[in-house]
Amino acid sequence: MVRWTLEKLVLPLKREWKISRGSVFEKENYIVTYSEGKLKGKGEVAFITNGDISKEEVEQGFKNFADNKGSDLNGLEDIMARIEESELPANLRFGIESAYVHFLAQLMEDTPQRVLGVREVTNIATSFSIPHMGCDEIEDYFQSESLQRFFSLKVKITSENDIDYVRKIGSLFSGPLRLDGNECFSDARIAGEFLKEISDLNIELVEQPISHSHFDECCRLREMSSTLLMADESLQDGPVIDDFQRAFHGVNIKLQKAGGYIKAMNQIREARALGFKTMLGCMIESSLGISSAMVIGHGVDFYDLDGFLHLKKDPFDHVFLEKGHLLYSYHH
């Protein structure tokens, strides 16, 4: 018997998750399960902090899909067509698609990579994201999280006043820093001055410093700055288009944002065709969601898959961290 279920997943965080868009102490995600008899596959639905997609949209969208499109499925192409017809939020599209892909992997007694026809990567060096905090808290946080074990750190910045904050982190960490603006700068001049002030630090890249709605300012910053600029909020579930070359050097692709394995894989291909750097990112999610991202991770330039490391307790056990590297657990 075919069965679809949607369960709420409450994920308390180790500490306040603070970025330019807001802050939270826990995340509420959903787990989609597809089962036929004893075989089942699970997918995770995660949310952007203070993003546009509501939990009500996800619950209603799931009910509509399960009731009207969820039975008599006949392989990957079939479910992809039904998902497309259903006009679901991107994160729910991914939850449904990945649950079915993971079911097919069980059915075939194989891996999700083989189902999707992609090469496997089993060892990923991830960055670790530092939520925004006071300068006086950083040193203790470094020690409590043993941040020297990572090869790079992602620093959440919230305004042009964060120069001392970034410098403090740079003084404690010898590796490269990745700055994540979450659209915090109002224009190219302010963002450019900020980057110039810290140009002596080991800054590897900057993600989305300016709002995606101010594309001309994004283009201006690319002209005036030599720093590697990555699109995040500017890329949602659509294609990676030529125009992006005017504003960025690369793109951050997230399964929850792209709306599924297939869409994210297409974005990676499109980005490479344009000569872009590629980053595989995540939301705050469990190791179920992180292990899903690892499925399409072969050949990506940068990995930012630390979402499960910020949880007080991971309800799954699909991935573990060893010396800054992510590996699949034996339970995967």
The string of pLDDT tens digits covering residues 176-193 is 999 999 999 999 999 999
> Model confidence at 331, in pLDDT bands (50, 70, 90)?
low
Same domain, 82 and 166: no
124, β-bridge pairs = 326
Average pLDDT, stretch 140-154?
96
Please tell me the distance from the alpha carbon of residue 107 to that of residue 305, in angstroms, as a whole number.
27
Would you say residue 48 has pLDDT above 90? no
Q: Which of 114, 134, 154 corresponds to the end of one domain?
A: 114
Strand segments, DSSP code E, in the chain are 2-19, 22-36, 39-45, 123-125, 128-130, 153-156, 177-180, 203-207, 229-231, 250-253, 277-280, 302-303, 319-322, 325-328
Would you say residue 50 has pLDDT above 80? no
Q: Which of 68, 88, 114 corresponds to the end of one domain?
A: 114
Q: What is the mean pLDDT of the chain?
A: 95
Q: What pLDDT, in 10s, does the model give residues 279-294?
A: 999 999 999 999 999 9
Backbone φ, ψ for residue 329 (5° rounding): -80, 170
Provide the CATH number for the domain around residue 63.
3.30.390.10
Same domain, 26 and 101: yes
Provide the CATH number for the domain around residue 282.
3.20.20.120
Count of Cβ atoms closer than 10 Å to residue 53 Cβ: 17
Same domain, 143 and 83: no
pLDDT at residue 66, rounded to an integer: 97
Q: Which of 114, 140, 169 corresponds to the end of one domain?
A: 114
pLDDT at residue 330, rounded to an integer: 67
Would you say residue 321 has pLDDT above 60? yes
pLDDT at residue 161, rounded to an integer: 94
Of the CA atoms within 13 Å of residue 272, those in its CB half-sphere come to: 10
pLDDT at residue 332, rounded to an integer: 52
Kindly report which listed range (32-36, 52-56, 192-196) carries the lowest average pLDDT score. Answer: 52-56
Average pLDDT, stretch 151-167?
96
Tokens of 16: 């306040």
Average pLDDT, stretch 94-111?
97
pLDDT at residue 21, rounded to an integer: 74
Reported pTM: 0.94
Q: What pLDDT, in 10s, does the model give residues 239-279?
A: 998 999 999 999 999 999 999 999 999 999 999 999 999 99
Distance of CA 324 to the CA centre of its chain: 17
Average pLDDT, stretch 112-136?
95
Same domain, 110 and 127: no
Same domain, 62 and 22: yes
Please tell me the distance from the alpha carbon of residue 253 to that of residue 268, in angstroms, as a whole number.
7
pLDDT at residue 163, rounded to an integer: 97
pLDDT at residue 91, rounded to an integer: 97
Please tell me the distance from the alpha carbon of residue 225 to that of residue 179, in angstroms, as a whole number.
14
Would you say residue 49 has pLDDT above 80? no
Same domain, 157 and 293: yes
Same domain, 238 and 313: yes
Same domain, 86 and 158: no
Total number of domains constituting the chain: 2
> Model confidence at 19, in pLDDT bands (50, 70, 90)?
confident
Same domain, 264 and 184: yes
pLDDT at residue 65, rounded to an integer: 98
pLDDT at residue 155, rounded to an integer: 97
